[in-house]
A and B are shown apart, each in its own frame.
Chain A
Amino acid sequence: MNRVAKLRKRTVLVVQITCLALFVAEKFGRVSICAGSSMFPTLTGNGDLVVIARDKLTNSKIHKGMLVESISPLDPSIRVLKRITALEGECVQLDSKAEHAQKIRIPKGHVWLTGDNLQQSIDSRVYGPVSIALLKGVAKYRIWPSFKRL
């Protein structure tokens, strides 16, 4: 076999395997590196490895307290990991200390996402309720630095 044919065969195989890996990552889930201090007590913020199960999330599959991966409403190229703290139809108060705190009613098909570290988190308090269609997966386990169920 000459060298060109061999190279072509290798390239085709690499493309096929890459596509298979992407398919598995999009259909079933993947391990993702999470950096940033917004989820501090739960994740350290120094590049934790988190198993994210890919699931088409609907109204019946989500509940409060779930850790979800979402496309950031401010920048579609960024994924964020936040906790669902309120569901559709509920009212949230933006600042619990202020006297005339602004109350927001979460519209249909939306959820309220916040980070666990409220001081350093850009979340629904900045960009408002997030559509469920933007949620792309559920964080199930942390596998590094130590194994933990999330």
Chain B
Amino acid sequence: MLKQFYRLKPLLWLPVAVFVNNHIVSVTFIEGRSMQPALNPDTNRLRKDFVLLNKFVSGSFSKTHLKKGDVVTLYNPQEPEELITKRIIAMPGDSVFPNTNSRFFKYAPINIPEGHCWIEGDEGFHSFDSNSFGYVPLGLIQSKVSFVLYPFYRFGFVQSKIPNWKISRIS
């Protein structure tokens, strides 16, 4: 009887694998074109980027392990089941000018309150981001997109840098 249980012993590693996948590191495909040209530069829908996610940034780690320019995945604040990939443009204490076509645009910068951040896709025209729903709480952020695994010609770290044409809007 006990011998049979011993054969199931490798199954004890399953929760460990789930923990690693949920909290430390995970992989996923990126969908959509809102992060062009950093991710999915090819508009062809069959060619998706396969990326490594650093999950060590959610919860209490988000204040110390996230910075401006990081590409993150977060829950869409308006659709609780949808995950979106965006770049952090401003962190608490910064102020940012929304895009001129945004409904938050008022010729004055928006101050980001404690515990929130301003996120935008790199591709301004096909992105559903903070310009449409305002600043988002850091608690929505699930992971940081840190490494492109496939396609191989772009194999490497994802640059943590705000695009040049956006820098003038942040103060």
Query: Which A residues are within 8 Å of any B CB, using their own CB?
Result: 13, 15-16, 19-20, 22-23, 26, 56-59, 71-77, 107-110, 127, 131-135
Contacts and interface: CB of A to CB of B under 8 A. Distances in A.
B76 A23 contact: no
Nearest to A133: B75
Interface residues of B, number: 30
Contact of A71 (B15, B63, B79, B139): B139
B44 interface: no
**A interface: dominant SS:** mixed
A132 B140 CA distance: 10
B143 to A, nearest CB: 13
Contact of B80 (A22, A26, A59, A71): A59
A13 B12 CA distance: 8
Interface in B30-66: 58-60, 62-63
Interface of B: 12-13, 15-16, 18-19, 22, 58-60, 62-63, 75-81, 113-116, 133, 136-141
Contacts of A15: 16
A76 B139 contact: yes
B115 to A, nearest CB: 4
A127 B58 CA distance: 20
Contacts of A134: 137, 139-140
Contacts of B60: 76-77
A23 B81 CA distance: 20
Contacts of A13: 12
